[in-house]
Amino acid sequence: MYKSFYILITLWYLLSANTTFAYTRQDTLRGSNGEGRRWWDVQHYSLTVYLDAENRKLSGENIIRFKVVDKPAAFMQIDLQDTLAIDSVFVYDFDTLKKAGVKDEVIVKSVKANVRKDGSVWWLYYNFGKWGTSAVKEIKIYYSGKPRIAKLPPWDGGMIWGIDSTGQPWYSVACQGVGASVWWPCKDYQTDEPDEGMLISVSPKLGKMTFVSNGMPLLDVFRSRINIWEVKNPINTYNTSFYGGAYIGWNDTLMGEKGKLDISYYALKHNEEKARKQFAVTKQMLHCFEYWMGPYPFYEDGYKLVEAPFLGMEHQSAVAYGNQYKMGYLGSDRSGTGVGTLFDFIIIHETGHEWFGNNITAADVADNWLHEGFTTYTEALFAECAFGKEKAYAYTRGEWKNMRNDVPVIGNYGVRDDGSSDKYDKGSAVVHMIRVLINNDEKFRQLLRGLNKDFYHKIVTTKEVEDYIIRFTGLNLKPLFDQYLRTTKIPVLEWYIKQKELHYRFTNVVDGFSLPLPVSTTKKAATLNVTAEWQSIPWKKAGFNIEVSPDFLVKEK
């Protein structure tokens, strides 16, 4: 098990770390708010998908309602990746006609748009320029083809045409890295979520399966052949997903900070007993997370935990679970402390994303440390709720050994570069160091709650979050953010004792970097305000070696 665990971790790092910077035109088109995107804002998606598993094909339609927010270009960019094709697109104009004795009614006219393929981008040509700002319009896209099959979901994602251990079909999709356009046409851009949510319907061509998706079902999923789910909140396109299989489900409720929260669980029928035992932690976890980070952000859509044919994913309101009903990460402890096998990593981590990633969403994937760093720290928050602060601190520090320091945590903007895989553990280290610098757990808790309240359902940049934290704490944290997020350099504490004085400084740091660093020997302790300049304090030679606080990510020389 340890061997397979470390193989998975290695593949994760290799697949998630972008170590080259040879960007293509397609990277720019898909990663930036270009001329075909910036003039329209998605209001709602209505997605219908028909699965042909025998031939590994799908077909479907997507109605996109959008608002004109700027002078329209002559074209619109729709994202749909290479193995799929747009068959036709219709533009709907809404004209108001008054009739005697009748209130305003809407007459809908559809006009077929011209479409041109350009790699994974499709250009729609229509007389968009006649529309005024604030107009609300709709297009209906018909599409079909063979979607990319996931090689190592969720990291190397796509469609999963699986079979469970009893021989029953088991389907899903995981697409954060590759993008939602790997299976449906949309504005595949993290900055634009459908403000008014979406409708999702996924059905097989043959056979009967139970399908689960984001949001709440409009019909009984176990009794109806029609499968429709409604998402009332904004949702990242990559978080839109579905699960089809031989499921059994059960429901519960939680009385949370915003009232009653509907909870649902879906497991393969033959795993029900194991699932009921493993999923029992859910309510404890949600209460813990609400205490630290504020109300669950999607009460209207409920919370679901769904067994998936891959390890896991933070699909909004329908968290994917594939940790094989083991504690830790597939039975192993990423921290190496023993704490990591006291809880189920996937349940905790992927649910933490409901606050950071799904509620607070980075505008560009380059800033996805805001998703992964904060969410990795939610593992420690749960450990603290369940096992105490000492174990939580040991756990989060233990995860730091997984850092690679290969490229900066923050990637390059506008080209779908999500930076280093260190966005998980190094990002979490940044959060932990901020907590230690605040030195007040209640204030740190209010910081996390404030972020989730003030950026509720918002798209943000790293700079906005940094500025918020600096204002809230009153600390000069910009050099710390620059050091750990924008460089690969780890500060090095150099020190020596001479003539009853301790001399110390930092090397390998950005301009202005400093830390109040606690150090000690068996007989003496002090907090040093360490900068890049040599400083000294009186220090009796009570022991040559000094111990540096383990709660700061620094090296010692």
Segment-wise mean pLDDT, segments of 10 residues, the chain, 557 residues: 42 46 91 97 98 96 97 97 95 58 54 93 95 94 97 95 96 97 98 98 85 95 86 98 97 98 98 98 98 98 98 98 98 98 98 98 98 98 98 98 96 96 98 98 98 98 98 98 98 92 96 94 86 93 76 95
Cα–Cα distance measured from residue 300 to residue 298, given in angstroms and rounded to the nearest whole number: 5
Cα–Cα distance measured from residue 194 to residue 197, given in angstroms and rounded to the nearest whole number: 5
Cα–Cα distance measured from residue 456 to residue 443, given in angstroms and rounded to the nearest whole number: 19
Q: DSSP letter string over 339-403?
A: GGGGSBHHHHHHHHTTTBTTTEEESSGGGTHHHHHHHHHHHHHHHHHHH-HHHHHHHHHHHGGG-
What is the pLDDT at residue 13? 44
What is the pLDDT at residue 319? 98
Peptide bond preceding 297 in cis form (omega within 30 of 0):
no
What is the pLDDT at residue 249? 97
CB 250 within 8 A of CB 264: yes
Residue 538 — φ and ψ, nearest 5°?
Answer: -60, 135
Type and span of the H or E element at 9: helix 2-16
Cα–Cα distance measured from residue 492 to residue 6, given in angstroms and rounded to the nearest whole number: 29
Tokens at residue 273, please? 């007993």
What is the pLDDT at residue 499? 87
3-state helix, strand, coil in the chain (%, to 5): 30, 35, 35
Task: Find all residues with CB under 8 Å of 455, minimum gap 6, and list them.
Answer: 359, 360, 464, 465, 468
CB 170 within 8 A of CB 309: yes
What is the pLDDT at residue 99? 42
What is the pLDDT at residue 541? 66
CB 111 within 8 A of CB 90: yes
Cα–Cα distance measured from residue 458 to residue 554, given in angstroms and rounded to the nearest whole number: 33
What is the pLDDT at residue 3? 39
Identify the DSSP state of 141: E
What is the pLDDT at residue 95? 55
Task: Find all residues with CB under 8 Å of 228, minimum gap 6, and list them.
Answer: 199, 200, 201, 217, 218, 219
What is the pLDDT at residue 124? 97
CB 416 within 8 A of CB 27: yes
Torsional sign, CA 361, 363, 368, 370: negative
What is the pLDDT at residue 361? 98
Torsional sign, CA 293, 297, 303, 305: negative
Cα–Cα distance measured from residue 421 to residue 455, given in angstroms and rounded to the nearest whole number: 25
What is the pLDDT at residue 83? 93
What is the pLDDT at residue 520? 85
Q: DSSP letter string over 387-421?
A: H-HHHHHHHHHHHGGG----S-SS--TTTT----G
